[in-house]
Structure 1
Amino acid sequence: MTDFFTDAHDRLRTQVAGFAAAEVAPRIDHMERTGDVDTGLARLIAAQGWIGATIPREHAGMGAGHVAKTVIIEELSRVSAAAGAIAQASQLGVAKLLHFGTAEQKQEWLPRITGGSLLPTIAVTEHGSGSHVLGMKSTGEQTGRNTWRLTGRKAWIGNSHLGGPHGVVVRTGPGTRGLTAFLVEGDRPGLHIPPHPTMLGLHGFAFGELHLDGVLIPDANRIGEVGEGLDVAYSSSILYGRPNLTAVALGIIRAAVDHTSTHVLDRRRYDGPLADLPTIRERIGGMEGRLVTSRLTAYHAAASLDRGLPCDPDLMNAKHGTTNAAMTSVREGLEIHGAAGLVAGQPIARLYRDAACLRAPAGTDAVQLHRLASRTLGPHHPEWSARFPTPVTSGPYHPARTRPAGAAVPA
């Protein structure tokens, strides 16, 4: 593991862990009781500069790469998977600009994202089309030489209620080259965001809908060429969505191991701690083994991106394996806790619900396995990691700006 990390990564991990303990942990009870979107936490995370982990320094970003991004998401998720989901969703929203944005678009948007004033999203999914991106019904119609009208409904959008800009992909023509992506600011007339639904887990995280009712967008807000929307969607999902959700799952596994280990050491059975029972030790060993494997696959994939290596299968496998490992580990932890784990407010129950929310986004298990099978059986497709290599140059990166512990939280 030491080959993946520099001293700068270690300092970043310490910084994020301290932030999570001081600023995130005290908010968990409220998020769990209410289920409300915690916009204050989202803005506080953004204010640290961490959304710009992969944004180059010439655009005021950290220029730190995917390993650093994984560190940030993992450490936040270890304390609160909702906090990790907030960070990863807007880091995912950065991808479209990095891959397809013009020089003018990058200059306009990226410094503001790193500065914490904007939390971008990627809005592809609809109720009738998830991994089947080409099945979307939302449309974009050119109403003049330089204007488009967007109409439709987007669903399950990470950070949906936090302002944007939203990277909306709509159908502008037939077939695979008939999708186009646009930046839609959160205050655009015709953009409506309905109340957030009550979710099974990830309480505090916005994961809702965007309603586009004839939203007029200038052509200057188009991301990529007309017809490149599928590329925007796939490159974002594979190169950012999958490693990001892997990092959230990794944080959940760490938390499950930590909470369950504490429980079996404190709980007494037969004049000794529960941890003395061989059956308990075997199950804890399995949880630790899944943690070790998940950490290796997560950081191997992220490091491959930072080295500019083709690694699409590694990203798919990391997401598939780690989200499944998280679900298995929290189930084991819940069973070890027994009835004590079912009491409201128990961390292991929260982890169980949070883990269940990770397997569908950025591609279900079936999608990941189908893509991996194609690597062996065909048809073979060019790797997105080869099309958009982003090697990180050596040398220390600038540390993220940190709000002092206990400072006022934005409303």
Structure 2
Amino acid sequence: MIERTLFREEHNIFRESVRRFVEREIVPFHAQWEKDGVVPRELWLKAGAEGLLCCTVPEEYGGLGLDYLFDVVVFEELWRAGASGPGFLIHTDLVASYILSFGTEEQKRTWLPRMVSGEAIGSLGMTEPHAGSDLKAIRTRATRDGDDYVISGQKVFISNGQLCDILVLATKTDSQAGAKGITLFLVEGDREGFRRGKNLEKLGMHAQDTSELFFDNVRVPATNLLGQEGRGFAHMMTKLAQERLAQAIRSALVTETIIGWTVDYTSERKAFGKTIADFQNTQFKLAELETEATVARVFTDKCIDLFMQGKLDPVEAAMAKMFTANLHCKAADECLQLFGGWGYMWEYPIARAYADARIIKIAGGSIEIMKTIIARRLFAHKHPIRTPAAAE
């Protein structure tokens, strides 16, 4: 694998620290958490104490004020270990980012220090039974009533839903205004009328709590409005590139990890008097996957670099997410095949990786939405190379 020049010595030292934490505090217990359907709150407090949560939050709000690569290291080390349970990405990369970008000074000082410490767990309430990728179709309503807003509606597929203490919630404040009628609110987990539904049983990611959430005339003060009323959709659009980049980072890392497992397994497992790795089919399959993984790594790291410079646009992020997500699922499928029957056993990491992989084509915007975004720019701005030369 090519050298990753983005990371400096301080990132590498931090990575070793994160890896030790994951091996000590997560790996031995993750199988039980998969049965429980949730990780314990104590893990969040331990992660906060180790400086693993919200690394980029400025020191004035209780954080370390580090660069984005420190968050990337945390996410990668979780995925390298197959630890899909801790919902640190939603908490750190999205909820804290929304509050930091659009929150008032009071909101930042109230929530960010508690999120950094792990005392308060964040969640993002966007998806509804009738609105997945089409966020403009949400029905959860927030109606102004004096100094308060009254919220009613339902959300579904909400990561950290069972544990969350603070929720960034997308609502409609004007049902006739389309995208301009969407407003974001911060909703505390103990508000009267807020109810958590069942912890949903999923194909994969069994240790991560994923819930239905219900809002029955939940009253919040107007000071809980996040950003500007009617600007919620615009606020969300500014975070889509970051969300899709995070998905690409996950897929690129997991693909590399799966290939590594498979090289090790096929080098030891024997059939017909030789190892599985001795067969040309195995060599060719893994050679193709390794090449594609290298391309994915170069492109993903380039997108990380662009993001850190404030130059990553939504189309590039969509390309990264689409390419790496497809490769992630392909690698999980083809590598499981090389494990044979053992690959289908839950005790083998490849089986869990296979189950966990499928959501990547849906979460953060479906693959079909990514294609639509890419095609829209492709046909709106034709590249000169693709324009046929004029006839002589």
Structure 1, 98-107 or 53-62: larger mean CA deviation: 53-62
CA gap of 1:294–1:44, structure 2 versus 1, over 3 A, is farther
Distance 2:55 2:302 in 1: 18
Query: Among 260, 267, 270, which residue is 1:268 paired with?
Result: 270
SS class of match (1:361): coil
Q: What residue in structure 1 maps to residue 320 of structure 2?
A: 318
SS in 2 for 1:4: coil
Q: What is the CA distance between 1:322 and its match in structure 2?
A: 1.2
Rounded Cα–Cα distance in structure 2 between residues aligned with 1:311 and 1:278: 41
Change in CA separation of 1:55 and 1:68 when aligned onto 2, cut-off 3 Å = same
* d(CA) in 2 for partners of 1:25, 1:327: 23
Task: Select 2:298's aligned residue among 290, 296, 299.
Answer: 296
Shift of 1:118: 1.3
| Pairing partner for 1:63 from 53, 60, 65 | 65
SS in 1 for 2:5: helix
Which residue, 201, 204, 207 being the options, matches 2:207? 204
Residue among 221, 226, 237 paired with 2:224: 221
Specify the alignment match of 2:198 in structure 1.
Answer: 195
Please give the residue correspondences for 1:14-33 in structure 2 after superposition, counting only pairs within 5 Å. 14-32=16-34
In the TM superposition, what are the counterparts of 1:230-241 in structure 2 within 5 Å? 230-239=233-242, 241=243
Q: Which protein has the larger Cα radius of gyration, Structure 1 or Structure 2? A: 2
* Structure 1 contact 73–251 (Cα < 8 Å) conserved: no
CA drift of 1:299 comes to 1.9
Q: Residue 325 of structure 1: SS of its match in structure 2?
A: helix
1:393 counterpart residue number: none
Q: Distance in 1 between matches of 2:350 and 2:341?
A: 11
1:81 Cα deviation after fit: 4.3
Task: For 1:93-172, list aligned pairs within 5 A.
Answer: 93-144=95-146, 146-172=147-173
RMSD: 1.9
Larger deviation, residues 43-52 vs 171-180: 43-52
**Residue 177 (structure 1) aligned to one of 177, 180, 183:** 180
Distance (Å, rounded) in 1 between the aligned partners of 2:373 and 2:262: 34
Return the offset for 1:126. Answer: 0.4
1:7-64 per-residue CA deviation (whole Å, 9 max, x = no partner) reads: 11111221222222222211232234x1511134444434433221222233222322
Query: Is the deviation greater in 88-97 or in 346-355?
Result: 88-97
Alpha-carbon shift at residue 269 of structure 1 (Å): 2.7
* Distance in 1 between residues matched to 2:51 and 2:217, nearest whole Å: 34
2:386 maps to what in 1?
A: none
1:202-238 Cα distance to aligned partner (Å, 9 max, x none): 0110221211111100111110111011123222333
Q: 1:46–1:119: 8 Å Cα contact kept in structure 2?
A: no
User: Structure 1 CA distance, aligned partners of 2:120 and 2:252?
Assistant: 26
Q: CA deviation at 1:333?
A: 0.8
Correspondence 1:282 to 2:284 = yes
Instruction: Tell me the percent identity.
Output: 25
| Corresponding pairs, count | 376
Query: 1:123·1:167 contact (CA, 8 Å) conserved in 2?
Result: yes
Q: In 2, are the aligned partners of 1:118 and 1:163 still within 8 Å (CA)?
A: yes
**One-letter amino acid of the structure 2 residue matched with residue 7 of structure 1:** E
Q: In 1, Cα distance between the equivalents of 2:367 and 2:343?
A: 27
Please give the per-residue CA displacement for 1:51-99, whole angstroms capped at 9, x wherever unaligned.
Answer: 212222332223223332222111111112414x611111211121122
Contact 1:129 1:135 in 2 (8 A): yes
Secondary structure class of the residue paired with 1:247? helix
Matched residue SS, 1:198 = coil
Q: Deviations over 1:292-319 (max 9, x none)?
A: 2222222221221112224322222121
1:408 maps to: none
| Bigger shift: residues 337-346 or 161-170 | 337-346
Q: TM-score, normalised by structure 1?
A: 0.87
User: Is the counterpart of residue 45 in structure 1 residue 8 in structure 2?
Assistant: no
Point out which structure has higher relative CO (alpha carbons under 8 A, 6+ apart).
1
One-letter amino acid matched to 2:325:
T
Q: Which letter maps to 1:21?
A: E
Stretch deviating more after TM superposition (198-207 or 304-313): 304-313
Q: Which structure 1 segments of 5+ residues have no match?
A: 381-411
> Aligned equivalents of 2:33 and 2:289: distance in 1?
27
Partner of 2:339: 337
Change (3 A) 1:323 1:43: farther
Q: 1:376 to 1:143 in 2, by over 3 A?
A: same
Q: Is the 8 A contact 2:303 2:312 kept in 1?
A: no
Structure 2 unaligned regions, length at least 5: 383-392
Residues 251 and 308 of structure 1: is their aligned pair in 2 closer, same or farther, counting only changes over 3 Å?
A: same
How far the C-alpha of 1:246 sits from its partner, in A, is 1.9
Cα deviation digits, residues 107-132 of structure 1 (max 9, x gap)? 22212211221121211110110111
- Code of the aligned partner of 1:231: A
| Larger CA deviation: 261-270 vs 150-159 | 261-270
> In 2, Cα distance between the equivalents of 1:281 and 1:17?
30
Comparing 325-334 with 108-117, greater Cα deviation is found at 108-117
After alignment, is 107-116 or 41-50 more displaced?
Answer: 41-50
Point out the more displaced range, 249-258 or 159-168.
Answer: 249-258
Structure 1 residues 248 and 46, CA, compared in 2 at 3 Å: closer, same or farther? farther
